[in-house]
């Protein structure tokens, strides 16, 4: 696989993992049948929490986290070649490569029991998504400022809008759900719809990479070394 196709792999792996896990969970009557994007009858993790769905869930999402580490490292090097400054590249590298580790930890704990495990999962969820979304926002802003001639301006604009919208909805949901007697449906709807937009963002990154010609073997960026 060419390195420029890695963002596609992120989207496909996550989509297949969730879709197959949902199908298995429904087939074994582990979750209720409903229109999850409209009804929000259960969460994404509920679809992949029990056997046999959990094996597919872990088997696809954990590799997704590993690919994400490489994708964000490549993004940092790519932005350096385009002329992005040291500070934004540092934060993109920090947020983008650290957050997939949290995703892997979260998926590894799916299906586990106990208050401590639940607390760890909740911490990962509330950290992974905001950190990754901030990396996406900074990346889109860098592209808007650099204005590469081969990238149409609408592309980074859409990338920025998606990242800000998902982050804004996630933040506001914390407030709104406090006003609801049963906030689970709102949380579930946010998960299904927000995560779909969250994953689709990487397809836009792939388009941007193709437009500028991602280097096949980028050098290590000394500005982002530990």
Band (pLDDT 50/70/90 cuts) for residue 218 is: very low
Domain membership flag for residue 203:
yes
Q: What is the mean pLDDT of residues 185-210?
A: 91
**Number of folded domains in the chain?**
1
Domain membership flag for residue 23:
yes
Domain membership flag for residue 135:
yes
Domain membership flag for residue 205:
yes
Average pLDDT of the residues of the chain: 85
- pLDDT per residue over 151-171, tens digit each? 999 999 999 999 999 998 878
End-to-end C-alpha distance for the chain, whole angstroms: 28
pLDDT at 215 over 60: no
Domain membership flag for residue 77:
yes
Please report, for residues 1, 4, 183, 207, 216, the alpha-carbon distance to residue 57 in angstroms, rounded to integers and kept in the order given: 23, 25, 25, 27, 30
Domain membership flag for residue 188:
yes
Domain membership flag for residue 83:
yes
Band (pLDDT 50/70/90 cuts) for residue 226 is: very low
Domain membership flag for residue 225:
no
- pLDDT per residue over 77-128, tens digit each? 999 999 999 999 999 999 999 889 888 887 877 766 655 556 666 666 778 8
CA–CA separation, 202 vs 197, rounded Å?
9
Range of the domain at 21: 3-220
CA–CA separation, 66 vs 143, rounded Å?
25
CB 114 within 8 Å of CB 75: no
């Amino acid at each position: 696989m060419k390195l420029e196709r890695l963002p596609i792999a992120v989207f496909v792996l996550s989509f297949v993992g969730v879709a197959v896990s949902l199908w298995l969970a429904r087939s074994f009557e582990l979750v209720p049948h409903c229109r999850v994007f409209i009804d929000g009858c259960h969460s994404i993790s509920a679809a992949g929490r029990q056997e046999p769905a959990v094996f597919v869930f872990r088997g696809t999402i954990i590799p997704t986290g590993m690919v994400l580490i490489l994708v964000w490292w490549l993004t940092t090097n790519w932005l350096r070649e385009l002329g992005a400054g040291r500070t934004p590249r540092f934060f993109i590298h920090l947020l983008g490569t650290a957050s997939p580790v949290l995703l892997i930890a979260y998926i590894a704990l799916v299906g586990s029991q106990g208050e401590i495990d639940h607390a760890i999962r909740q911490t990962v969820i509330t950290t992974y998504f905001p950190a990754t979304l901030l990396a996406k926002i900074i990346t889109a802003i860098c592209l808007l400022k650099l204005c590469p001639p081969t990238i149409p301006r609408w592309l980074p604009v859409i990338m920025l809008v998606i990242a800000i919208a998902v982050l804004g909805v996630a933040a506001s949901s914390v407030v709104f759900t406090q006003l609801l007697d049963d906030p689970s449906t709102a949380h579930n709807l946010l998960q299904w719809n927000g995560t779909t937009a969250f994953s689709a963002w990487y397809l836009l990154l792939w388009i941007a990479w193709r437009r500028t010609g991602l280097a096949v073997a980028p050098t290590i960026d000394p500005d982002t070394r530990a």
